Structure 1
Amino acid sequence: MALPITDHIVAAVSKMVDDSQVEGYREPSHSDIEFYVSRAGLTDADPKAQGQTVGKAKRVRAILSWAIDNDQTAGGKLVESLIAKVRASGGFRDSSANFIGADVIARAVEAFDSEGYILSSDGALRPKNLESLMGRELTVALRDYARRAQKGSEDAALLSGTSKDLLEATAAHVIRTKYGSYPQQANFPALLGQAFIALEMATPEDPPSSTESPYRVMERGMYQSAVGVNRLRNKEGSGHGRPWVASLGVVEAEAAIELAGVIAGYMLDKLDNR
């Protein structure tokens, strides 16, 4: 799914790399920008390659503005690379010397939201509608949700742009990857069971053996835990409002979120290794 670029996004990303209004140096460097510009195939649009001396913000704005009219795909790749660099450099952490500022982040969040993307407060960028993704792109998106869930992020409990929760979406993705389609009307325990079988993971239907590997015992526990987490989900709506049943306490909700992340992450790792 190609990342769209607009004037709004160009302005937001340009501010993310700008360090002209702060004391000292802040990553990314001009050298970093040059590397990502070259990798995106946009060197010809780079003012620096034309002998001009410009600041980072003006440089990035010029390149991306050219890409809007001439090569949206390359421009989208550059935007993703720059955001990833800013994130890796601590740009989204307020304790970092490279912090880009709450106002800059808020403007970027708004810009991407208007184009159907979610930019989280920690710099993760993902499409709102995960159902438009398939294959490797969906694996990457689900893995990002799994990591956030493992850290207790409640917005990872129900996926944006889909009625599925993280575990259900992961199970469906596994089955579709393995067999080309998945049973959309299947209940969650059946869907999860099929995904576990496709990944050669143990389920409660597999008789325990005294000689089996301990990880098989762990996988049975994962299945039962995943079913329990799914039953705790608020089935009304699709992620708007509290995603858990009203009787669930904060401690239980945090455990459910983190469990979902661990199990989904394990399933995606198994999928990658098959």
Structure 2
Amino acid sequence: MDRVPVNDTIIYALARLVDDAQKDRRDPSHSDIEFQFKRAGLTHVDPNKDGSPVGKAKRLRTVLSWAIENDIAKAETLSVGIISAVKGCGGFRNTSPNFVGVDAAADLSGALHAEGIVLGEDGSISLVALENLSGRNLTQALRGYVNRAKKGIEDAALAVGTSKDLVEAVAAHVIRELWGSYPSTANFPSLLGQAFVALEMATPEQESVQGEHQRCRLERSLYETACAVNNLRNKQGTGHGRPWVPDLRAGEAKAAVEFIGVISELMLDNLERKKP
């Protein structure tokens, strides 16, 4: 993996990995951290660039906090770089003088798992295998992708590790949770339509009736939007490389990912409303 999700909880967990203020010095060093800043293209917000000494933990928090608000992709690149640097120094090995500690490793593991990432005991990182999850655990993992999609992060368009895009994975999960099984051979519009019906959401197949709630018009529009976005997918791949048709402009791709996130989130919210 070349990027991992970032939120405030993950930022503070990462900062604990490099914090040696209360202990004997341990690697990664300041220069190691600076190398990761350069690699992520974030040296311009490094508080040490002007010569004022700042501790490693505060230095990393400052840069990641700026990046999460201004350039989330760079924040995700820096985060995976920091984990790799800590791993390379033996930070996840309890016999190493650079061991970060059981609590610090566990805190980061928990924060990443909530975003669909598994942190191994050796510091390796991998995606949660969605196929091995069900029920609330799968809902939580899908929400990790939803949160990234809402920020326009392109690889969140696919439920990585499956051949489905995020909306399709959510639709299958909804049908399985509410109806017990789902038609694995159904095409995208049919699968999404069944999920909408299971969630009591309106689809274009259901004609509007006098007196219906105004949300029905929104739900029909979201269904059409999801189908339109699905048609922009590059059907030749299964998640490797850019998931969109070649001539889609960057702004259009970002909007498409954000639509995916919004629609998926609403479906998961409605699922939890029906199955609290």
TM-score, length basis structure 2: 0.60
Partner of 2:250: 250
In 2, Cα distance between the equivalents of 1:109 and 1:55?
18
Partner of 2:48: none
Partner of 1:136: 136
Question: For the Cα contact (< 8 Å) 2:116–2:145, is it kept in 1?
Answer: no
Deviation of 1:184 after TM superposition, in Å, equals 0.3
Provide the secondary structure at the position in 1 that maps to 2:146. Answer: helix
1:105 to 57, 61, 83: 83
In 2, Cα distance between the equivalents of 1:176 and 1:163?
17
Provide the secondary structure at the position in 1 that maps to 2:200. Answer: coil
Partner of 1:183: 183
Partner of 1:236: 236
- Aligned runs of 1:175-214 on 2, under 5 Å? 175-214=175-214
Partner of 1:17: 17
Question: For the Cα contact (< 8 Å) 2:116–2:142, is it kept in 1?
Answer: no
In 1, Cα distance between the equivalents of 2:191 and 2:131?
17
Deviation of 1:209 after TM superposition, in Å, equals 2.3
Partner of 2:49: none
In 2, Cα distance between the equivalents of 1:90 and 1:207?
57
In 2, Cα distance between the equivalents of 1:103 and 1:234?
29
Partner of 1:154: 154
In 1, Cα distance between the equivalents of 2:270 and 2:260?
15
Partner of 1:79: none
Deviation of 1:145 after TM superposition, in Å, equals 0.6
Provide the secondary structure at the position in 1 that maps to 2:139. Answer: helix
In 1, Cα distance between the equivalents of 2:174 and 2:129?
18
Question: For the Cα contact (< 8 Å) 2:116–2:128, is it kept in 1?
Answer: no
Residues 14 and 102 (structure 1), Cα distance of their counterparts in 2 relative to 1, 3 Å cut = closer
Deviation of 1:16 after TM superposition, in Å, equals 4.3
Residues 246 and 209 (structure 1), Cα distance of their counterparts in 2 relative to 1, 3 Å cut = same
Residues 211 and 144 (structure 1), Cα distance of their counterparts in 2 relative to 1, 3 Å cut = same
Provide the secondary structure at the position in 2 that maps to 1:230. Answer: helix
- Aligned-pair identity in percent equals 48
Question: For the Cα contact (< 8 Å) 1:17–1:56, is it kept in 2?
Answer: no
2:63 to 94, 97, 101: 94
Deviation of 1:15 after TM superposition, in Å, equals 8.3
Question: For the Cα contact (< 8 Å) 1:16–1:104, is it kept in 2?
Answer: no
Question: For the Cα contact (< 8 Å) 1:94–1:101, is it kept in 2?
Answer: no
Q: How many residues align?
A: 191
Partner of 2:101: none
In 1, Cα distance between the equivalents of 2:61 and 2:181?
38
In 2, Cα distance between the equivalents of 1:101 and 1:150?
19
Deviation of 1:210 after TM superposition, in Å, equals 3.4
- AA of the residue aligned to 1:131: E
Question: For the Cα contact (< 8 Å) 2:156–2:257, is it kept in 1?
Answer: yes
Give the unaligned 5+ runs of structure 2: 1-12, 27-57, 67-74, 91-107, 118-126
Provide the secondary structure at the position in 2 that maps to 1:94. Answer: helix
In 1, Cα distance between the equivalents of 2:81 and 2:184?
42
Residues 56 and 131 (structure 1), Cα distance of their counterparts in 2 relative to 1, 3 Å cut = farther
Give the unaligned 5+ runs of structure 1: 1-12, 26-53, 58-88, 112-118
Deviation of 1:143 after TM superposition, in Å, equals 1.0
Residues 182 and 235 (structure 1), Cα distance of their counterparts in 2 relative to 1, 3 Å cut = same
